């Protein structure tokens, strides 16, 4: 194992500070104090050289240094040095860029004027495998995750499920009301039929659709043909 590899794996990884702005570089450097050995670069060419040659544990990257800048710079840098954890710093943090950066493999995204003691805390957390982003980015992360998961499910349904077509118009009305959370009494009132008739409809519906409980029916109606659970599980 080379010296630089050893250093990368130890608790004091080499940190590359990359920014065209010397004041910013020295501010970040001061924040890290003696906790991490530091190597400064001010230009793209020097950054690339340092990434390939030094196998740094962490890269603090000012988004304005690279061209293309911001999140777009991350994939190429990761190729140069796959083990380096990349933190993007920017004067104008925004959720969109933060999301792109994380998706591209960055481990941190924060304001370039981050308080020095926080910067050090961030690097320590990142060294332990955590991700460092502003709090407000997390709900956005979850929204994006949910939306991509939904899209993935829509793109590959288990099988097109047209079972609702087996129901009569009246049965469909009952099924939809169940999907809306109505109990039998409410359904009876709504459709002006007796409670007994409602129950009979439900029995038929269960039989026609192959369900044996109300929740499964309700989920099927609400989710449409995208239900993941089209079988008892």
Partner 1 sequence: MPKPSITVVIADQDKARRTSCMRLLRSRRDIRVLGQARSGLEALAATRLKPQVLLLDLSLSRGHGADLLPAIRKSSPGTRIILVAGRASEARILDGLCHGAQGYLDKKLLRDFLAKAVRIVGSGRAWVSRKLVPDIVDRLARLAA
- Which residues contribute to the site for partner 1 (CB under 8 A)? 102-105, 125, 129-131, 133, 135-136, 138-139, 141-142, 144-146, 148-150, 152-153, 180-183, 214-216, 218-219, 222-223, 226-229, 233
Q: What is the DSSP letter of 84?
A: P
Residues of 116-140 as b/e, b for ≥16 C-beta within 10 angstroms? eeebbebbeebbeeebbbeeebeeb
Q: Which is nearer to partner 1, 79 or 149 (CB)?
A: 149
* H-helix segments, the chain: 3-9, 22-32, 44-54, 74-80, 95-103, 116-127, 137-155, 169-179, 184-191, 195-209, 214-223
Listed in sequence order, the residues at least 6 apart from 143 whose beta carbon sits closer than 8 Å to its beta carbon are none
Per the DSSP assignment, residues forming a β-bridge with 111 are 90
The helix (H) or strand (E) run that includes residue 62 is strand 58-62
Question: Tokens in use for 6?
Answer: 């050893």
* Closest CB 105 distance from partner 1, rounded Å: 7
- Distance in angstroms (rounded) separating the CA atoms of residues 88 and 171: 57
Q: Which is nearer to partner 1, 27 or 190 (CB)?
A: 190
* Closest CB 20 distance from partner 1, rounded Å: 28
Q: Which is nearer to partner 1, 52 or 83 (CB)?
A: 83
- Distance in angstroms (rounded) separating the CA atoms of residues 222 and 233: 18
* Closest CB 229 distance from partner 1, rounded Å: 4
* Closest CB 73 distance from partner 1, rounded Å: 16
* Closest CB 165 distance from partner 1, rounded Å: 20
Q: Which is nearer to partner 1, 52 or 149 (CB)?
A: 149
Q: Which is nearer to partner 1, 25 or 85 (CB)?
A: 85
* Closest CB 152 distance from partner 1, rounded Å: 6
Q: Which is nearer to partner 1, 54 or 172 (CB)?
A: 172
């Amino acid at each position: 194992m080379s010296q630089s590899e050893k250093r990368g794996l130890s608790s004091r990884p080499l940190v590359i500070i990359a920014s065209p702005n010397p004041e910013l570089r020295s501010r970040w450097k001061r924040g890290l104090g003696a906790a991490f050995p530091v190597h400064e670069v001010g230009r793209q060419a020097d950054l690339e050289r340092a990434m390939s040659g030094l196998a740094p544990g962490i890269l603090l990257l000012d988004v304005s240094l690279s061209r293309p800048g911001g999140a777009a710079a991350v994939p190429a840098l990761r190729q140069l040095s796959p083990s380096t954890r990349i933190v993007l710093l920017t004067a104008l943090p925004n959720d969109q860029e933060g999301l792109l950066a994380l998706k591209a493999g960055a481990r941190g995204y924060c304001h370039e004027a981050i308080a020095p003691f926080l910067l050090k805390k961030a690097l320590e957390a990142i060294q332990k495998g955590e991700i460092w982003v502003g709090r407000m980015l997390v709900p956005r992360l979850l929204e994006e995750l949910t939306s991509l998961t939904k899209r993935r499910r829509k793109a590959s349904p288990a099988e097109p499920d047209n079972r609702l077509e087996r129901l009569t118009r009246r049965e469909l009305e009952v099924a939809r009301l169940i999907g809306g959370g109505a109990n039998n009494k409410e359904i009876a009132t709504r459709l002006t039929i007796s409670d007994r008739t409602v129950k009979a409809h439900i029995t038929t519906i269960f039989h026609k659709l192959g369900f044996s409980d109300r929740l499964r029916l309700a989920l099927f109606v609400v989710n449409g043909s995208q239900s993941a659970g089209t079988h008892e599980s």
